[in-house]
Amino acid sequence: MRDSGVQPLQPLNQDESLGTEAVAERLRGVALDLFWKKGYKPTTTRDVAAALGIQQPSLYHHFSKKEELLHGICYPTFLHLIETAEAALALAATPLERLRTLARVHLTTTLEFQREFSVSVMECRSLSAEYRAEVDGLWGRYSATIFEVLDGAKGAGVVRGDVANRYLYTALMDMLNWSVLWYRPGAAYTVDELDGIFFSIYLNGAMTASTRAAWKGDSTVREVVAGVAKGPELRLGHARLLDAACALFARSGYFATSMREIAEAAGIQKATVYHYASSKEDLIYQISRAAVEHLHAGVEGALAGRTDPIERVHVLITAHVVCLLEHQSWHASANDELHALTGERKREIVERRDGYEGLLRGVFGEAQEAGLLRGDVPVKLMGLVLLGMVNCIYPWYSAETDLTPVELGALLSDLFLTGCSA
C-alpha cells in the first residue's frame, strides 16, 4: 500500500487528558493508518498504543474493544459517501445528469478518502453481526438509490433496457471501486480526468464509434471459451485443502484462520496439511499461484488460433470471467489476501500478475493500432478499467441466480466494448 500521509505523532504526555475529542481523533487516525498498512486483524491494540506513545490500558478510556475502531471508520465513511451522493443527486435535473453525477461523486469522494474507503471495503467483513448490520443497512440504502437512478435512465432511454440493473450497477461500481487500489495522487491522471474517462467508457464503450456501429458480437466465443478455460490438475486432497482454506479466508480472513481449522474443514488431519503446505503463508502462496496460472493459461488457450484483433479482445474478456468463476474462491483469496505474502513469494505473484496484465495490454494494443479501440485512452488505463469491471465479480456472483459464467463474460465484454448507452 502507498504511504498513508499521516504525520508521525508526538507521544502523549501521561498527564494529558485522554477525554478530549482531539486525542480521540488522533486515535482514529492512528488506527486507520495501521489498518491501511497492516490490515485490521494483524493490528493489535498494543500497536495502536505504541503509535500514540501511551500505555495500552489508557486506550480503553475511549473504546472497549478494537472492533469499535473499525466500526468508527466504516460507518462514517459509508455515511459520508451516501449523504454526499444524495445531496448532489437532488440538484441533478435529467436522468443522464443524475447518472453522470452519481459516477462523479462516487469516484471523487472515494478517492478523496482513499484510505478510509479501502479499509472500509476490505475489512468490514471483520465486524460482528450487529456492527455489520449497520454498515450493510447503509450500503443497502445506497444501492437502492443507484438502482433508482438506473431505472430513471432506462425510462428516459439513456441506458440499455435489455441489461438487468444488477449488471449495470456492478459494472459501474466495480470499475470505480477498483481505482481505490491503484490510484496515486500526483500520478499521470487527476481525479477529474479519470472521472471523464471512466464515465465515457461506461456509457459509450472502449470501441471506436465506427467499430461499435458494426459490432454484432461473436456467439461462437461461448463454445470456444467454455471448452478451453479448464482448471489446473490437482490431486483431490490438495484441491479440497485449497478450497477449504479459501472458504475460511473468505469468512474470517487469513490472519484469523488457523491451520487446525483448515484441516477440519478439509476433513483431514492437521499433520496431513503439512504434506501439502509448509505453513499458512505457503498455503496462500499456492492458492495465489494456482489462481494466476489458471487465469493466464485459460485465457491464452482461448485466444489460440484467433487473429481478428477485436475478436481477441472479446474472447480475452469472456475467458477472463469464465476462469475467475471456475475457481471463484481461489481468485477471491488471491485478490483479498495478497498482503499476507512476504518476500520472494510476494514478488513472484506480483510478477506473474504483471505478466498477465502484459498479455492483456498486448491484445488491447493490437486492437487499438488497428483502429478498433479508441485511441484517446492508453491501453494501460483501459486495462485497469476492464480489470475493475471483471475482477470484483466474485463477492456478488451466484451460480443459482446469475447468468452462466460464459453468458456473464460475454455480457461484461459487450458492456466494456460498446457501453451501456441505449
Q: Where along the chain do its domains lie?
A: 72-204, 209-418
Phi first, then psi: give them for residue 85, nearest 5 degrees.
-65, -45
pLDDT at 10: 46
What is the Cα–Cα distance from 418 to 206, expressed in whole angstroms?
A: 6
| CATH topology agreement for domains 72-204 and 209-418 | yes
What is the Cα–Cα distance from 197 to 206, expressed in whole angstroms?
A: 10
What is the Cα–Cα distance from 372 to 207, expressed in whole angstroms?
A: 6
Strand, coil or helix: 90: coil
What is the Cα–Cα distance from 142 to 328, expressed in whole angstroms?
A: 26
pLDDT at 6: 40
Q: Are 287 and 277 in contact (CB under 8 A)?
A: no
Q: Are 77 and 139 in contact (CB under 8 A)?
A: no
First to last CA, the chain: 39
CATH T-level fold of 72-204: Tetracycline Repressor; domain 2 (1.10.357)
Residue 365, Cβ density class (10 Å: 0-12 exposed, 13-18 middle, ≥19 buried): middle
pLDDT at 141: 97
Measured torsion, CA atoms of residues 372, 375, 379, 383, in degrees rounded to the nearest 10: -70
Other residues' Cβ atoms within 10 Å of the Cβ of residue 320: 27
Longest CA pairwise span in the chain (Å): 74
pLDDT at 1: 38
Phi first, then psi: give them for residue 175, nearest 5 degrees.
-60, -45
Strand, coil or helix: 27: helix
Phi first, then psi: give them for residue 207, nearest 5 degrees.
-75, 160
- The pTM of the full predicted model, rounded to 2 decimals, is 0.88
Phi first, then psi: give them for residue 14, nearest 5 degrees.
-65, -25
Q: Which of 6, 118, 127 is nearest to 69 (CA)?
A: 127
pLDDT at 7: 42
Ordered per-residue pLDDT tens for the chain, 422 residues: 344 444 444 444 444 544 566 777 888 899 999 999 888 888 988 998 888 887 788 777 777 889 999 999 999 999 999 999 999 999 999 999 999 999 999 999 999 999 999 999 988 888 999 999 999 999 999 999 999 999 999 999 999 999 999 999 999 999 999 999 999 988 889 999 999 999 999 999 999 999 988 887 665 666 666 556 555 666 667 888 998 999 998 888 888 889 999 999 988 888 888 889 999 999 999 999 999 999 999 999 999 989 999 999 999 999 999 999 988 889 999 988 888 899 999 999 999 999 999 999 999 999 999 999 999 999 999 999 999 999 989 889 999 999 999 999 999 999 999 999 99
**379-391 and 343-369 helices, crossing angle to 10°:** 120
Domain 209-418 has CATH 1.10.357.10: yes
Which three cell numbers, joined as nine digits, stand for 210? 465506427
Which three cell numbers, joined as nine digits, stand for 263? 484441516
